[in-house]
Structure 1
Amino acid sequence: MSNLTQILPLQFAHILDLNTNIVKLVEGPQTLMLQTNEKLVAGPVPMVVVPLGHYCVINDPVKEYIDGEKCSLYIGQKSIKFHGEPFALYPGEWLADAQSFGKESHSYRDAIKPLPVVKANCALRLIADLDHDDNGVERKAGDKWQLVGPVTYKPRPEVSVEGLISPTIIKSGQVIKIRATQDTVDTNGRDRVTGEEWLVKKPGAYLPGVFEEVVHVDSSYTITPHTALHLKATMTLTDAMGKQRHAGEEWLLTSDMMTEYLGQVGVEVVKVVKLTVVKKGQYAVILNPVDENGKAQLGQKSLRVGLCSFFLHPYESLQMQSVQNAVILSEQESLVLQAINDFTDIMDEKKVKRKTGDLWLINGPCNYIPPIEVEIIKQRSTIPLNKNDGIYVQNLRTGKVRLVMGPCAYRLTATEELWEKKLSKETEELLSVGGGMGSGDIRKLAYFEQSIDPNIAKGRDKTRVVTYRCPSNTAVQINNYQMKTARVVFGPDLVVLGPHENFNVLRLSAGKPKVKGALKSLCLMLGPDFISDIIEVETSDHARLRIQLSFNNYFEVDKTDEASARKIFSVPDFIGFACRQLGGRIRARVALTTFDEFHRYSAPIIQAAVFGPTEAGEPAGKLRFSANNLVISGVDVQSIEPVDVKMRDSLSKSVQLAIEIATKSIEAAASHEAAREEQIARGHLERQILMTEKESERERVKLYELKAQTAAVESTGQAKAEAQAQAERLLIEGQSDIEVAKLKAEAANIEDSSLLSIKVMLQKSDIDHNRKVNVMEIEKQKSFSQIEVNKFREMVNALGPATIVAMANAGPQNQLNLLKGLGLESVLLTDGNSPINLINTAAGLVGKDHTYSQD
């Protein structure tokens, strides 16, 4: 490291003496040779240059610098430098906000700051850090004051800048609210206490004081006939109308009182209230209305009927939050009303006293506005009912429910309402699918599709009567749980449920083999029908067989006898009951028969088991169940197969072998017949091929002849067509040239005619223009002449003859009077060129060059 340090002009360095531990300042320009006991601790760095209009702050300034001696520093204090000669920093000093010592001048860029410039209508808020004297004003530490612009502020070490205060612009129609942060005096010289608020309404720029803060700027409220202001007092005061208001009091300010509101201290604008307009055919119910004294009548109501308009006062509100339309009732509509207070009602020009809780009905057509003592319970319409349609109606006083059937148009009374008939979930599902429900492979489900009601499938109206289309040859049992009775309806018919009636849901066995409760149904099929089932039997030689049977059945019932009709429903599951009874009989009979016998005579054995033994040649009898009058009229054996797998396989193999033998014999015969037919067909095919080739050669000869003829015709036609085309082309070209020549001649003629017309029109236009200009010039000269004549005539008339004569004689008369004043007599001169002319002398005395003669 070299001991030579070159310090340029306007640079400085700090050198530490290691013996005395004193740092000295060395300024350039010079070349410094460091001694062995010296060390360069800072620099060379540029001197601090403060431009015009800038300043810098030096922290810990030196009290008095003496080169080579110890110097004292004002630790924690500041010194401010303004524009001047470049200066160096003494050891221990440092620039506020400077990055660090460096070799480039921009290291001090952040430390050099522009002087604060306070614009007009702005202020610089200052705070004293130390006690000091400010141009004769004693400032204590903590004091605050403002420097109002326009001014350039020179900072002082004892003072800190709190911030620049911008003015608040008060526009026309605006007001600002000011709050005192501590006791102060406002711009008008009034004393203000801490927390006090006041308004400034004067338009312009307002600069808050040191201890003033702007709360907010409010715009004036323009109060129109359609708006009003809802005001609230936050303290006890006198409002803008001169009325005493208590804290928390609310009132309404309308355009009748004031057209523009600028705000007031202690008064809060809650909201702008719009005019409520009640049109014709409308009404409004005001809750908690305000009386004439401005007191809210809490809990009361007031009715306003259109046409009218009003403002809602504080505490007032509209029922249903809006203006309501009058209830317009047609001839088929009505209203159910209830009195909420005692009052006297007028109906059909008669007074009717209503007590609290009374219900009554108003029928249309009318336009109804309810009084405040009346509440509209509901609006109803007349219910039209078809022939097979009906509704359930309940009387609210007695609780009785009745059925009303059509055809009619029924109107509920005030004490009636529609009653919902509830059905079990199972019954609802059965009605939606036509009355039968079960797995998809049950045959009887297809029978219920004809009874599906599309209206019920979409969703049943519980107030409407429950109906069911009872299919043909079926019966439906309906239970009345209130009367403890039952009735049976035979199809085809429409079942109508009363208010306390319900369907008897049948849970029947279904499937093969039968499963209990697999089919749910509302109706009982009277038959004739059949029941299929699979039962297992065992022969006397212990062969287990599975038999698939079908039983023909029907019910014997007298539809006119109620006891007979109810008896068919005495067995809930007649299918399962019949299958169990018949299965037991068949199993008992088959148990006494061997497998070989049963295999040969299965049908007679099963019929004998079901109907009993019959004589040879006689038809089978009938089996009747006395419990429910079910009659089995026939049995059909559909299939019999062994239950044992081995036996079933043996039977299957034997049957399969027999089938294979028969199949092979048929295949052999068929193949032989096919070979024979194939040889015959092949011979026919060869013969046909030869005949086809012969015909083909004959047709080919004809083709060649036609081709030769066609070639000759083609060559002749082509030459003729070319000659005709050439002649037509020449003819068309000649005609085209003639037409072109004609068109060019016409175009030239049109062009020349157009140019001639244009020139004629231009010449006419020039002639007309010159004529009009000459006429206008003549008229102009005539007008000027007439104006001069009129001017002169008016001047003469204005002056008058006497005045003109007097003006003409005024000069000579004055000259004679002047000569007389000089003691000279007027002389009659016969020659104007006489040597002595007293008249001219007098004229020279008065400064005129005119010569006059006087007799």
Structure 2
Amino acid sequence: MRNLTQIPPLQFVHILDLNTTVVRLIEGPQTLLLQTNERLVAGPVPMITVPLGHYCVVHNPIKEYVHGEKCDLYLGQKIIKFHEEPFALYPGEWLAGAENFLKESHDFRDAIKPMPVIKANCALRLVADLDHHDSENKVERKAGDKWQLVGPITYKPRAEVTIEGLISPTVIKAGQVIKMRATQDTVDMNGRFRVTGEEWLVKKPGEYLPGVFEEVVSVNSSYTITPHTALHLRATMTLTDVMGSQRHAGEEWLLTSDMTPEYLGQVGVDVVKVVKLTVVKKGQYAVILNPVDEKGKAQLGQKALQVGLCSFFLHPYESLDKNTVQNARILSEQESLVLQAINNFTEAFDGKKIKRKTGDRWLINGPCSYIPPVEVEIIKQRSNIPLNKNDGIYVQNLQSGKVRLVMGPCAYRLTANEELWVKELSKETEELLSLGGGMGTGDIRKLAYFEQSIDPNVVKGRDKTKVVTYRCPSNTAVQVNNYQKKTARVLFGPDLVVLGPHENFNVLRLSAGKPKVKGALKSLCLMLGPDFITDIIEVETSDHARLRIQLSFNNYFEVDKTDEASAKKIFSVPDFIGFACRQLGSRIRARVALTTFDEFHRYSAPIIQAAVFGPHEAGEPAGVLKFDSNNLVISGVDVQSIEPVDVKMRDSLSKSVQLAIEIATKSIEAAASHEAAREEQIARGQLERQKLVTEKDSERERTKLYELKAQAAAVESSGQAKAEAQAQAEKLLIESQSHIEVARLEAEATNIEHNSQLLSQVMLQKSEIDYNRKMIAMEIEKKKKFAALEVNKFREMVKALSPATIVAMANAGPQNQLNLLQGLGLESVLLTDGNSPINLINTAAGLVGSNQKE
């Protein structure tokens, strides 16, 4: 039956009465028949069994239960059940940790918890949820109170108390301290009263159990201070430090091993960092920024110099210039230092005192080792600049601003107030220098002339502080403008053009191409000639025939290289090529305009020459044309081609030429056909004759064939025996000859092998003899060169010292003794005593020796 419910032992169910809405508890074992107005809402579920040493929490515990009536519960409260008989949950009760016990899971294991066991040196922190009387400690607890139970103990939970957590002790090892903080006013384990937020240190090794209102801030290890380390400390409050000094909040100081070998820490003092010992070796120095004085105050903005050998700790606010120990500047004989004073000071140099003012610059030359004072700043380290014969540099004086050119050969050393000056050129000039002085399209003929002037150093990249040079090609001229003096100079090749600081090239922009295009060629140099200019011009005859003429003009410049005015005149026309082409084209067009096409076609060259050079008698050579503006001379004109501009005229001329070619071709074809027919008849006659000769030869050969057939038949009839005998004889003969040939070849191979071995041994012995001979010769040569080097070394040493120096070195001892006696006033004795001046010298040596012993 569906309404019949079996309830096993130690289980229970909850039955809801739909009429009264009352839920009642029924425990097993029994069989329950549900009425029509009853419904099973929970169960059967097992009763709750709490093992020994465990507990569970029941919420909304029942106050009083009357079967068949509504349960009276303590809503919002809880009770704790310990080990006892199994019990059932009344309607409305629920287990903490097993909220779904009655609905789904029927598992209450998560609700059963072991009773807290507090180990020795541990504590259980508790919080009171309700006011109650603690009978064990005989204390009245208020809601919110906190306290601890120190082990070893097993705690029996109470409903009015919440377990906040288990507190484990903090282990303080040797060399460690723990920092504690009070969360509210309390008394620590040593009996000292602590206010809220107060911090203190616990240094005693062992286990420390924090109190209820104590928290561990951090566990710190002690600092071992060695002679090579120190501690940078900062006070976060006003206090007295471990050394007994009064410190104010924010004050920083250094703790070294001279004060204490170990530091355990202090409340109110933070360890900023561990400072390592700064060691300055020999040949090193250190500049300390913001040094600390004897009273421990930082001198902000000041500097202090420490020169090795020494060591020190950087105090708070101190730092090293450039964050490192610096090496002394070691200068060779070719090096120097540029120095600048940043403050007024007096410098001792070569026994003299020199006053330096702020901003002064001076030079220190090597060889030396230099350590700058704190008032001096090293601007830069320089080396001598080696300059060859054609090398130079631009140098600027920083005081006057003037720039000058220094040329070699020399090794130039810049002064303190001099700097290398950067010579800037336009991008166009830079590109022209890298290309040898000419720039344009690849079809310009004149560009090949500039390849000889390409400087590899400029192609790789020009050093802008070095002198700008240009290899002026032969038979060319270069104009250089001085923009400071407003002058210009002209140099003729082959020569090396050297630009001064305020000079620049006059870049020529010439016309080029066919026909000429303005500015197509850029050049640094002007070609003096003789040269030629090729151009294409269009002309129109008097009968309006337009022609395109390609001309070539021979040209050169008429210049006196010793006359400055004449040299400058050739540069008076910037584009001499375009100027000449325009002038000549104008003359030719004017002259051709007066001539018909037929006349010009027959007499083009004389007409053009007359247009350029003027009329002249027949048979006489043409003259020359000179332009007075730039002394350009045109010495000849060559007509290279003439063709019509009009397409129709050009087509007509082309058709006439094609017709003439066609007529000539047809005449040649007719003559060729007649010749071919004649040769064909001759060939046919020869062919017939050859056929007759061939038939004759064929009959003769057929006769021979019949004869051979008859002989073959005779041989065949003689029998097979004769043939086999003859074959066997030939076989034996061939075998004998082959054996003889094999024996001969073996003998030759053996002979060749012996000869090759003998030859290889001879060559090997010869090579060894040659090798030993060469090694001995090289060793002898080596010994000779070593001996020569030693002799030369001794000779050069004597030559370097000079005989006078060697004599002076030999006489140095006696001379010093003589000077000593003269210094003692014994000069007159030496002059008057004629017995032995050497005795007095020895006496002086004795006096010096006795003084040294004393």
| 2:319 match | 317
Q: 2:21 & 2:255 partners in 1: Cα distance? A: 83
Q: 2:621 aligns with which of 594, 619, 622?
A: 619
CA shift for structure 1 position 231: 0.7
The alignment partner of 2:650 has SS state of helix
CA shift for structure 1 position 705: 9.5
Q: Write the letter of the residue equivalent to 2:22.
A: I
The alignment partner of 2:633 has SS state of strand
Alpha-carbon distance change, 658 to 211 in structure 1, aligned in 2, over 3 angstroms: farther
CA shift for structure 1 position 707: 14
| 2:630 match | 628
Work out whether residues 45 and 103 of structure 1, in 8 Å CA contact, stay in contact via their aligned partners in 2.
no
| 1:736 match | none
Alpha-carbon distance change, 612 to 710 in structure 1, aligned in 2, over 3 angstroms: farther
| 1:448 match | 450
Q: 1:667 & 1:92 partners in 2: Cα distance? A: 135
Work out whether residues 172 and 207 of structure 2, in 8 Å CA contact, stay in contact via their aligned partners in 1.
yes
String of CA shifts for 1:419-466, please: whole Å, max 9, x gaps: 222222221221121111122222212211211112122222221111
Decide which moves more: 629-638 or 597-606: 597-606
Q: 1:544 aligns with which of 533, 542, 546?
A: 546
Q: 5+ unaligned residues in a row in structure 2: which ranges?
A: 699-725, 744-854
Answering whether residue 504 of structure 2 is matched by residue 502 of structure 1, we say: yes
CA shift for structure 1 position 103: 8.0
CA shift for structure 1 position 291: 1.4
Answering whether residue 217 of structure 2 is matched by residue 189 of structure 1, we say: no
Q: 1:263 & 1:341 partners in 2: Cα distance? A: 43
Decide which moves more: 631-640 or 641-650: 641-650
Answering whether residue 127 of structure 2 is matched by residue 127 of structure 1, we say: yes
Map residues 92-241 of structure 1 onto 2, 5 A cutoff.
Answer: 92-101=92-101, 107-134=107-134, 135=136, 136-241=138-243
Q: 2:120 & 2:449 partners in 1: Cα distance? A: 102
TM-score of the pair, normalised by structure 1: 0.77
The alignment partner of 1:357 has SS state of coil
Q: 1:397 & 1:479 partners in 2: Cα distance? A: 26
CA shift for structure 1 position 713: 4.3
Q: 1:715 & 1:555 partners in 2: Cα distance? A: 94
Work out whether residues 43 and 101 of structure 1, in 8 Å CA contact, stay in contact via their aligned partners in 2.
no
CA shift for structure 1 position 567: 0.3
CA shift for structure 1 position 285: 0.8
Work out whether residues 279 and 311 of structure 2, in 8 Å CA contact, stay in contact via their aligned partners in 1.
yes
Q: Write the letter of the residue equivalent to 1:177.
A: K
Work out whether residues 46 and 106 of structure 2, in 8 Å CA contact, stay in contact via their aligned partners in 1.
no
| 1:299 match | 301
Q: 2:366 & 2:333 partners in 1: Cα distance? A: 5
Q: 1:234 & 1:37 partners in 2: Cα distance? A: 78
CA shift for structure 1 position 52: 3.7
Work out whether residues 481 and 489 of structure 2, in 8 Å CA contact, stay in contact via their aligned partners in 1.
yes
The alignment partner of 1:398 has SS state of coil
Q: Write the letter of the residue equivalent to 1:643.
A: V
String of CA shifts for 1:696-718, please: whole Å, max 9, x gaps: xxxxxxxx99998599749999x
Work out whether residues 13 and 25 of structure 2, in 8 Å CA contact, stay in contact via their aligned partners in 1.
yes
Decide which moves more: 458-467 or 113-122: 113-122
Q: 2:309 & 2:648 partners in 1: Cα distance? A: 101
Q: 1:342 & 1:586 partners in 2: Cα distance? A: 82
Q: Write the letter of the residue equivalent to 1:354.
A: R
Q: Write the letter of the residue equivalent to 2:195.
A: V
Alpha-carbon distance change, 670 to 197 in structure 1, aligned in 2, over 3 angstroms: farther
| 2:82 match | 82
Work out whether residues 335 and 362 of structure 1, in 8 Å CA contact, stay in contact via their aligned partners in 2.
yes
Answering whether residue 13 of structure 2 is matched by residue 19 of structure 1, we say: no
Alpha-carbon distance change, 535 to 226 in structure 1, aligned in 2, over 3 angstroms: same
Work out whether residues 63 and 74 of structure 1, in 8 Å CA contact, stay in contact via their aligned partners in 2.
yes
CA shift for structure 1 position 604: 2.1
| 2:338 match | 336
Report how many aligned residue pairs link the two structures. Answer: 700
Q: 1:308 aligns with which of 302, 307, 310?
A: 310
Q: Write the letter of the residue equivalent to 1:639.
A: S
Decide which moves more: 423-432 or 257-266: 423-432
Q: 1:189 & 1:653 partners in 2: Cα distance? A: 134
Alpha-carbon distance change, 11 to 346 in structure 1, aligned in 2, over 3 angstroms: same
Q: 2:461 aligns with which of 459, 462, 465?
A: 459
Map residues 266-285 of structure 1 onto 2, 5 A cutoff.
Answer: 266-285=268-287
Give the 4+ runs in structure 1 shifted more than 4 A: 102-106, 656-673, 675-680, 704-717
Decide which moves more: 203-212 or 521-530: 203-212
The alignment partner of 1:631 has SS state of strand
Work out whether residues 505 and 522 of structure 1, in 8 Å CA contact, stay in contact via their aligned partners in 2.
yes
Answering whether residue 348 of structure 2 is matched by residue 327 of structure 1, we say: no
| 1:757 match | none
Q: 2:668 & 2:4 partners in 1: Cα distance? A: 132
Alpha-carbon distance change, 607 to 199 in structure 1, aligned in 2, over 3 angstroms: same
Q: Write the letter of the residue equivalent to 2:628.
A: S
| 2:64 match | 64
CA shift for structure 1 position 249: 1.3
Q: 1:195 & 1:522 partners in 2: Cα distance? A: 87
Q: 1:550 & 1:24 partners in 2: Cα distance? A: 133
Alpha-carbon distance change, 715 to 386 in structure 1, aligned in 2, over 3 angstroms: closer
The alignment partner of 2:110 has SS state of coil
RMSD: 3.1
| 2:490 match | 488
Q: 1:595 aligns with which of 588, 594, 597?
A: 597
Work out whether residues 280 and 306 of structure 1, in 8 Å CA contact, stay in contact via their aligned partners in 2.
yes
| 2:644 match | 642
| 2:49 match | 49
Q: 2:6 & 2:662 partners in 1: Cα distance? A: 128
Work out whether residues 42 and 103 of structure 2, in 8 Å CA contact, stay in contact via their aligned partners in 1.
no
Q: 1:46 & 1:584 partners in 2: Cα distance? A: 130
Tell me which structure has the larger Cα radius of gyration. Answer: 1
CA shift for structure 1 position 479: 0.9
Work out whether residues 42 and 101 of structure 1, in 8 Å CA contact, stay in contact via their aligned partners in 2.
no
CA shift for structure 1 position 374: 1.4
CA shift for structure 1 position 344: 2.0
| 2:424 match | 422
| 2:515 match | 513
Q: 2:175 & 2:734 partners in 1: Cα distance? A: 112
| 2:528 match | 526
Map residues 353-502 of structure 1 onto 2, 5 A cutoff.
Answer: 353-502=355-504
Work out whether residues 45 and 104 of structure 1, in 8 Å CA contact, stay in contact via their aligned partners in 2.
no
| 1:265 match | 267
Q: 1:567 aligns with which of 566, 569, 573?
A: 569
String of CA shifts for 1:115-168, please: whole Å, max 9, x gaps: 333344332221111111222221110011122334333322111122232332
TM-score of the pair, normalised by structure 2: 0.77
The alignment partner of 1:603 has SS state of helix
CA shift for structure 1 position 369: 0.5
Work out whether residues 46 and 105 of structure 1, in 8 Å CA contact, stay in contact via their aligned partners in 2.
no
String of CA shifts for 1:208-250, please: whole Å, max 9, x gaps: 2111111111111110110000111111111111111111111
Q: 1:310 & 1:219 partners in 2: Cα distance? A: 26
Alpha-carbon distance change, 175 to 711 in structure 1, aligned in 2, over 3 angstroms: farther
Answering whether residue 352 of structure 2 is matched by residue 350 of structure 1, we say: yes
Decide which moves more: 293-302 or 401-410: 293-302
CA shift for structure 1 position 205: 2.4
CA shift for structure 1 position 639: 2.0
Q: Write the letter of the residue equivalent to 1:533.
A: D
Q: 1:118 & 1:711 partners in 2: Cα distance? A: 127
Q: 1:449 & 1:293 partners in 2: Cα distance? A: 76
CA shift for structure 1 position 358: 2.0
Work out whether residues 528 and 557 of structure 2, in 8 Å CA contact, stay in contact via their aligned partners in 1.
yes
| 1:34 match | 34
Q: 1:42 & 1:429 partners in 2: Cα distance? A: 102
CA shift for structure 1 position 316: 1.0
String of CA shifts for 1:572-617, please: whole Å, max 9, x gaps: 1101100100111111111112222222222222222111222222
CA shift for structure 1 position 401: 1.6
Q: 1:208 & 1:662 partners in 2: Cα distance? A: 131
Q: 1:234 & 1:712 partners in 2: Cα distance? A: 126
Percent identity over the alignment is: 83
The alignment partner of 2:566 has SS state of helix
CA shift for structure 1 position 395: 1.8
The alignment partner of 1:649 has SS state of helix
Q: 5+ unaligned residues in a row in structure 1: which ranges?
A: 691-703, 722-855
